[in-house]
């Protein structure tokens, strides 16, 4: 049996007053997800282990069954792998957002969803003026980029910018982790102490603001009524992780693929030994090319044993607090991804197991991630269904899988 996970990033939500107290998944028209949930089995999954921040890297690694306390090294190293940066011993990688600062506040975490082409100009400019033997900037995708610090100490307290929209940025600058403020002996291969690492990063943030403020590209963006990309914001530091290949855990996965517009997901795929499929028109936003992603997934299923199809759109809509847009992304996932994949594979000679789930909630009210368990269903030909008839956060509480954690979901899914 072949296997495909369709992951709607951030799709889960809280009840919304304007929707009559329903969540967006309850309110949205999702006939295919409801149908597959009614024909399959459902449950909830705790994707954020105790003590971990509810980031997409944490949640997606959990979906794949990785033991986070053993392998987690932050988002930076995953994104490094995705863009082809081979981290050496002692090199610390960080996700480096390009953000919009308005006054002293973080207006948004994405610089108004800057394009990769525009951001590349700014990242190269920052490398030219701020890069050196210790500090290197690398272009990623859209607002998501990479900062590598040779000899950096990862024991620092960094705030994800999408967690703090409209907050003053200065109180959120990098600090040494509590208890490391007076450490004079760096960790492992680090050459800097946590305090020195924090001071270096904060200096880069403030100098980036001086450099970017009057950059011609930002002058052009402002003239067009767009948000300027006027600051970097590094976060989620770590070293090269030690992750097992998915095939080491599941020998039936002789070949697998990952499809995503998001570097960190492709980085997880790299360490899981899933081949990365690049899809034309995949943006990570509500305008992503669902049809091309589905076509790539179906083509991969002809030759591969496992496909991880990740769609980011709902998460971005949640970060914007846009209920109508998030409803659209959920309905698009159903009609333009789940439905076409099910219709295509339901009669294949070799059966295909389908699982659909978010990685974490991104409530529009809060505009950031939370750590509540998420709903999921598993369907394949011949599965004995449970009594659940619709797919949403509340209905699956009655599902036969109950509440799963750690690697229980992926073990159940791969048993089929």
Is residue 189 predicted with pLDDT exceeding 70?
Answer: no
pLDDT digits (tens, 9 = 90+) for 24-43: 999 999 999 999 999 999 99
230 and 289: one domain?
no
Average pLDDT over residues 291-304: 97
pTM over the 0.85 mark: no
Angle at 62 between CA 325 and CA 52, to 5 degrees: 85
Residues in the chain: 416
pLDDT digits (tens, 9 = 90+) for 321-344: 999 999 999 999 999 999 999 999
Residue 76 lies in a domain: no
Is residue 185 predicted with pLDDT exceeding 70?
Answer: no
Residue 80 lies in a domain: no
Instruction: Give the domain CATH number at 281.
Output: 3.40.720.10
Residue 231 lies in a domain: yes
Residue 9 lies in a domain: yes
Q: What is the pLDDT of residue 95?
A: 94
Which contacts of 256-259 are long-range, i.e. CB under 8 A and separated by 24 or more positions? 256/304, 256/305, 256/306, 256/307, 256/308, 257/297, 257/300, 257/304, 257/306, 257/307, 257/308, 258/307, 258/308, 258/310, 259/293, 259/296, 259/297, 259/300, 259/307, 259/308, 259/309, 259/310
Last residue of a domain, one of 237, 269, 290: 237
Residue 293 lies in a domain: yes
Domain range for 256: 1-71+241-412
Whether residue 72 contacts residue 58, with contact meaning beta carbons closer than 8 Å, is answered with yes
- Please report which residue ranges of 131-249 form alpha helices under DSSP H: 194-212, 216-223, 246-249
Last residue of a domain, one of 200, 215, 237: 237
250 and 362: one domain?
yes
95 and 64: one domain?
no
311 and 205: one domain?
no
- For 220-283, the three-class secondary structure string (H helix, E strand, C coil) is HHHHCCCCCCCEEEEEEEECCCCCCCHHHHCCCCCCEEEECCCHHHHHHHHHCCCEECCCCCCC
Average pLDDT over residues 384-412: 98
Tokens representing residue 237 in the block: 């530091």
302 and 265: one domain?
yes
**Contacts of residue 361, Cβ cutoff 8 Å, sequence gap at least 6:** 10, 12, 13, 14, 318, 369, 370, 372, 374, 393
57 and 120: one domain?
no
Query: Structural domain tally of the chain?
Result: 2
Is residue 187 predicted with pLDDT exceeding 80?
Answer: no
245 and 231: one domain?
no
pLDDT digits (tens, 9 = 90+) for 47-89: 999 989 898 999 999 999 999 999 989 889 988 998 889 899 8
* Pairwise CA distance, residues 390 & 369, whole Å: 24
* C-alpha distance across the termini of the chain, in Å: 7
Residue 300 lies in a domain: yes
143 and 250: one domain?
no
Residue 353 lies in a domain: yes
392 and 286: one domain?
yes
163 and 187: one domain?
yes
98 and 228: one domain?
yes
pLDDT digits (tens, 9 = 90+) for 243-255: 999 999 999 999 9
275 and 221: one domain?
no
Last residue of a domain, one of 197, 213, 237: 237
């Amino acid at each position: 049996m072949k296997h495909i996970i369709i992951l709607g990033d951030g799709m889960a939500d809280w009840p919304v007053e304007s929707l009559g107290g329903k969540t967006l998944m309850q309110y949205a028209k999702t006939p295919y997800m409801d149908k597959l949930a009614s024909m399959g089995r459902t449950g909830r999954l705790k994707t954020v282990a105790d003590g971990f921040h509810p980031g997409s890297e944490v949640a997606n690694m959990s979906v794949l069954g990785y033991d986070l306390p053993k392998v987690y090294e932050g988002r930076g190293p995953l994104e490094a792998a995705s863009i082809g940066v081979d981290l050496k011993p002692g090199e610390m990688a960080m996700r480096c957002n390009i953000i919009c600062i308005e006054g002293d506040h973080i207006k948004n975490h994405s610089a108004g969803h800057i394009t990769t082409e525009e951001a590349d100009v700014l990242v190269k400019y920052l490398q030219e003026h701020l890069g050196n033997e210790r500090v290197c900037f690398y272009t990623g995708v859209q607002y998501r980029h990479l900062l590598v610090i040779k000899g950096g100490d990862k024991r620092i307290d960094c705030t994800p910018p999408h967690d703090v929209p409209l907050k003053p940025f200065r109180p959120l600058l990098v600090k040494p982790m509590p208890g490391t403020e007076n450490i004079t002996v760096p960790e492992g291969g680090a050459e800097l102490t946590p305090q020195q690492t924090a001071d270096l990063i904060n200096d880069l943030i403030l100098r980036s603001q001086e450099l970017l403020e009057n950059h011609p590209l930002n002058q052009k963006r402002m003239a067009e009524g767009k948000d300027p990309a006027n600051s970097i914001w590094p976060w989620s530091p770590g070293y090269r992780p030690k992750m097992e290949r998915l095939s080491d855990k599941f020998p039936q996965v002789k070949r697998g693929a990952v499809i995503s517009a998001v570097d960190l997901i492709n980085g997880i795929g790299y360490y899981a030994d899933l081949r990365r499929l690049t899809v034309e028109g995949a943006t990570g936003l509500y305008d992503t090319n669902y049809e091309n992603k589905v076509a790539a997934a179906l083509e991969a299923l002809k030759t591969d044993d496992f496909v991880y199809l990740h769609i980011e759109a709902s998460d971005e809509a949640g970060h914007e607090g846009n209920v109508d847009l998030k409803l659209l992304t959920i309905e698009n996932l159903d009609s333009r991804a789940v439905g076409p994949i099910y219709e295509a594979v339901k009669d294949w000679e070799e059966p295909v197991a389908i699982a659909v789930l978010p990685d974490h909630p991104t409530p529009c009210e809060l505009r950031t991630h939370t750590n509540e368990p998420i709903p999921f269903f598993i369907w394949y030909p011949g599965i004995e269904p449970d009594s659940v008839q619709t797919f949403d956060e509340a209905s699956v509480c009655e599902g036969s899988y109950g509440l799963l954690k750690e690697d229980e979901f992926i073990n159940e899914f791969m048993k089929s």
